[in-house]
């Protein structure tokens, strides 16, 4: 399994700590970001806790590389910021990093890519289809 992921988002959507923490909380993860997190300034180990236990990971903000593959460029579109995530073998670190990635996808329109894979993860909105019926049960 990968020990690194990259989240791509628009620079204007780079969330402040409070907003990112709220997004993680809304997903139900018991991950708490350290107060030292600052968008575009965090560059290295970010202390976090998972249910009260240490679960930090490495996080770095940067511009999207000019030499990314055409397929990846097509997937990320106009997103101009890359946030690199790395963790060691501790599953708590992995869960903390993935929780933040999931929050970025859900609340900030990020696309997440595993560097050793060809796929990207994005949020797909599924709206229920409203069926139109004629008859005694129609509204």
Measured distance CA(6)–CA(73) in Å, rounded = 13
pTM of the model: 0.83
pLDDT of residue 119: 56
Domain boundaries, the chain: 4-121
Chosen CATH of 4-121 out of 3.10.20, 3.30.70, 3.30.870, 1.10.8 = 3.30.70
pLDDT tens-place string over residues 34-79: 999 999 999 999 999 999 999 999 999 999 999 998 988 998 999 9
The SS3 call for residue 138 is coil
Query: In 3D, which of 47, 49, 117, 42 has the Cα closest to residue 84?
Result: 42
Specify whether the CB–CB gap between 2 and 117 falls below 8 A. yes
What is the average per-residue pLDDT within 81-108? Answer: 95
Measured distance CA(17)–CA(19) in Å, rounded = 6
Q: CB 43: neighbour CB atoms within 10 A?
A: 13
Q: Provide the pLDDT confidence category of residue 96 given band limits of 50, 70 and 90.
A: very high
Q: Which two tokens stand for residue 88?
A: 């060691």
Q: Provide the pLDDT confidence category of residue 108 given band limits of 50, 70 and 90.
A: very high
pLDDT of residue 129: 35
Q: Provide the pLDDT confidence category of residue 138 given band limits of 50, 70 and 90.
A: very low
pLDDT of residue 71: 87
pLDDT of residue 41: 96
pLDDT tens-place string over residues 109-125: 999 988 876 555 554 43
Measured distance CA(123)–CA(106) in Å, rounded = 6
Specify whether the CB–CB gap between 109 and 41 falls below 8 A. no
């Amino acid at each position: 399994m990968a020990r690194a992921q990259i989240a791509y988002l628009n620079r204007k959507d780079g969330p402040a700590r409070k907003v990112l923490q709220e997004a993680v909380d809304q997903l139900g993860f018991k991950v708490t970001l350290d107060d030292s997190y600052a968008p575009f300034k965090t560059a290295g180990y970010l202390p976090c806790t998972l249910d009260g236990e240490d679960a930090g990971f490495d996080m770095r903000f940067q511009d999207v590389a000019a030499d990314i593959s055409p397929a990846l460029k097509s997937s990320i579109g106009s997103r101009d910021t890359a946030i690199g995530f790395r963790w060691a073998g501790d599953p708590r670190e992995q869960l903390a990093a993935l929780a933040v990635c999931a929050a970025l996808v859900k609340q900030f329109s990020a696309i997440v890519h595993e560097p050793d894979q060809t796929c990207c993860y994005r949020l797909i909105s599924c709206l229920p289809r409203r069926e139109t019926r004629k008859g005694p049960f129609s509204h």
